[in-house]
Structure 1
Amino acid sequence: MRSADDDLTARARIRNAALELFGAEGASRVSLRAVAQRAGVSHALVLHHFATKEGLRQACDDYVISLVKGAPDADLGDTAGLAAMLEAGVAVRRYLGRAFLDGTSEAAALFDEIVASTSQWLEQGVREGRVQPSDDPPARAAMYVTWLLAPLAFGEHLARSLGTADVHDMRTLLRFSRAGIEIFTRGVFTDEHALDAWDAVRDERGPR
């Protein structure tokens, strides 16, 4: 007779197999039978635990989001906290990237939560003198988070640009992360010429 512990182990094994396949190919392209084969269990057992593919995908979403929110010392508005999320297993990172591309409601809620927390963190930094003031704090917070999460969705293109086989390789992860932090810390342009030009276009073509 199968014990409760066996059920839990099988459920986790099926979920992990789904994370790998859904992240690599997208949930719409993966069958429950393929997940069962990857997990080394029967199709019937997958149905027993999750009932449908949507149920399995929901379980994957819940698991990934629980990892993000439960990361040790994870302040989602802090670079260190987001780094902890990005340092999760490769299957988790790929799955999360696919979720953002597919536009699940859970991924949307997580993104909004991270942006809100990041906005608070940046504003605290402004008050403490660690962060430059912004003309548009909400937009800056959203762009900051978008940059941090972009490799999850554009990993293949980033890897190609950096000449590496896998953007999830830790050496590559550290390389592009450091480049981004350098941009945020030191800036790119030496004066406000580009910003002034952009403002001129906005003033000329913006809402009247």
Structure 2
Amino acid sequence: MRSDSDLTARARIRDAALELFGAEGVNRVSVRAIAAQAGVSPALVVHHFGSKEGLRQACDDHVVWLVRGGSGAADLKDAPGLAAALEAGAPVRRYLARALLDGTPAAAKLFDEIVETTGHWLEDGVRDGWAHPSQDAQARAAIYVTWLLAPLAFGEHLERVLDVKDLHEMDATLRYSRAGIEIFTRGVFADERALDAWDAVAKERKQR
């Protein structure tokens, strides 16, 4: 059985890895560096996680847990992929951005998990009346997640355009995330001309 200190050390190691992996990338971070950041020995890192890849998987699992509402909150303001990431802090957001840009199987699984969780959340919203139904619920969930996560991948460019020093700081995060939610809540177009044009193109292609 693990002691409380073992559990605390495990979480401290994971959090150190989240921060370093997010800031520098998995390939550039050593187990020794993670151990130093966490204030433990490299042997203890290996004891808890087996390897750096095992530690990375633990980081992925933790982020998925947060997206699933692991923080305990469960109302509209705690939308998966949004409030959980905001409350988790900059290291988790940086880690998520880096994991998605890496394009590894672990990152792909992570993205799929987030889309699946968000899809269920939106389905609940349709049933409860705070979300509109969609002709393609799976595509909508995927696009929703992609839009919310895109700022993390384009951080350098957004920092320049928005004139902020660090996109992961809370004020900047609230600014760009609110803009995204405003688009989803109120829309951009005042009428359906753009949607009608898209439908016309799709109809024409089916008739060929």
Is 1:62–2:65 an aligned residue pair? Answer: no
How much has 1:207 moved relative to structure 2?
8.4
Unmatched 5+ residue regions in structure 1?
none
**CA-to-aligned-CA distance 1:82-117 (integer Å, 9 cap, x gap):** 332122121112112222333415413422322321
How much has 1:164 moved relative to structure 2?
0.6
Change (3 A) 1:57 1:141: closer
Match of 2:78 in 1: 80
**CA-to-aligned-CA distance 1:12-65 (integer Å, 9 cap, x gap):** 222221111111122122121221222233322222222211111122222222
Match of 1:35 in 2: 34
Question: d(CA) in 2 for partners of 1:205 and 1:155?
Answer: 37
Question: d(CA) in 2 for partners of 1:4 and 1:111?
Answer: 32
Question: d(CA) in 2 for partners of 1:146 and 1:189?
Answer: 20
How much has 1:143 moved relative to structure 2?
1.7
Match of 2:180 in 1: 180
Match of 1:150 in 2: 150
Change (3 A) 1:81 1:119: closer
Question: d(CA) in 2 for partners of 1:109 and 1:132?
Answer: 22
What amino acid is aligned across from residue 126 of structure 2 in structure 1?
E
**When the two structures are aligned, how many residues end up with a matched partner?**
201
Question: d(CA) in 2 for partners of 1:207 and 1:92?
Answer: 47
Q: Which has the higher Rg, Structure 1 or Structure 2?
A: 1
Percent of residue pairs bearing the same amino acid type: 60
Change (3 A) 1:122 1:146: farther
Q: Tell me how large the CA RMSD over aligned residues is.
A: 2.7
| Aligned partners of 1:18 and 1:60 also within 8 Å | yes
Is 1:117–2:116 an aligned residue pair? Answer: no
Unmatched 5+ residue regions in structure 2?
none
Question: d(CA) in 1 for partners of 2:46 and 2:78?
Answer: 39
Deviates more, 1:151-160 or 1:48-57: 151-160
Match of 1:25 in 2: 24
**CA-to-aligned-CA distance 1:125-149 (integer Å, 9 cap, x gap):** 5xx3x44454433322322232223
